Amino acid sequence: MASMREIIFDTETTGFDPKSGDRLVEIGCVELIDRRETGVTFHAYFNPERDMPAAAEAVHGLSIQFLSDKPLFATRVDELMEFLGDAPLVAHNAAFDFGFVNAELARAGRRALDMTRMCCTVQMARKLHPGAKHSLDALCTRYGIDRSHRVKHGALLDAELLAHLYIEMTGGRQIGLGLAASAARTGASASPAPATSRGADRPFREPRPHMASTAEIARHAEFVAGLNQPLWLDTV
């Protein structure tokens, strides 16, 4: 069985709308294989070629002074696209992140990411927990994921937290109990052996009786007769 590769990613930007001139300034990506983190990541800061609004800087802490010597998106687009490959792409409020990445790809003269690759954990959370809060912080609290080291938003840190969250939301780390992977390695069936199967080297045993014997029935009747005001007589 082929392994399943997925990319969890997050972005930081100068604002909310790439159509009004807001730009991507950071992206962080985490690789999963069969819903397990591989330790392989992609992380980059980008010079947005514009100012950084104070409201945006308050969220992620990235000043224009810090970003001024960082590469343009077009400089690292080949590295990013190679890392993403053709894997499904998972993000929190994914339409936002896809919108910014696709806007930068358009500026670089590249083809947009196919929206069919998009998996949104906000939409997943709404189905799993209707009426609850669906922010990354709220969901990390719900699933017991430690975020104490998250002082400000950061693309790679948030992608790592989201990877943990996504794994938990899709069944935890014991998805399939590893049966499929073990079967692929050994060539054996992942299905458990029938309950009636018996190894040829095991001795045959006669089935044990499961009905009470005459002596046991007599002892039980004697015990019941000696009970003082049993509760079930109150209903007679």
60 is in an annotated binding site: yes
- Residue 12 is assigned to a ligand binding site: yes
Tokens of 44: 């980059």
Paired residues of 45 in beta bridges: 26
Structural element, H or E, at residue 144: none
Helix ranges (H only) for the chain are: 54-60, 64-67, 73-84, 94-107, 121-128, 136-142, 155-169, 179-186, 214-225
Taking Cα atoms as reference points, which of 141, 138, 77 lies closest to residue 113?
A: 77
Nearest C-alpha neighbor of 155 from the set 22, 11, 8: 11
Residue identified by tokens 């985490």 is: 30
Q: Is 51 annotated as a binding residue?
A: no
Give 64's contacts (C-beta < 8 A, 6+ positions apart): 48, 51, 52
Return d(Cα 58, Cα 116) in angstroms, integer: 33
The active-site residue out of 153, 164, 210, 220 is: 153
Give catalytic status of residue 153 as yes or no. yes
Tokens of 71: 């590469």
Vertex 214 angle, CA 210 and 216, to 5°: 70
Q: What is the rounded CA–CA span in Å between residue 132 and residue 101?
A: 29
Contact 10, 162 (CB under 8 A): yes
Q: Which residues are annotated as a binding site?
A: 10, 12, 60, 158
Which residues are part of the catalytic machinery?
153
Residues flagged as binding site for substrate: 10, 12, 60, 158
Annotated binding residues for a divalent metal cation: 10, 12, 158
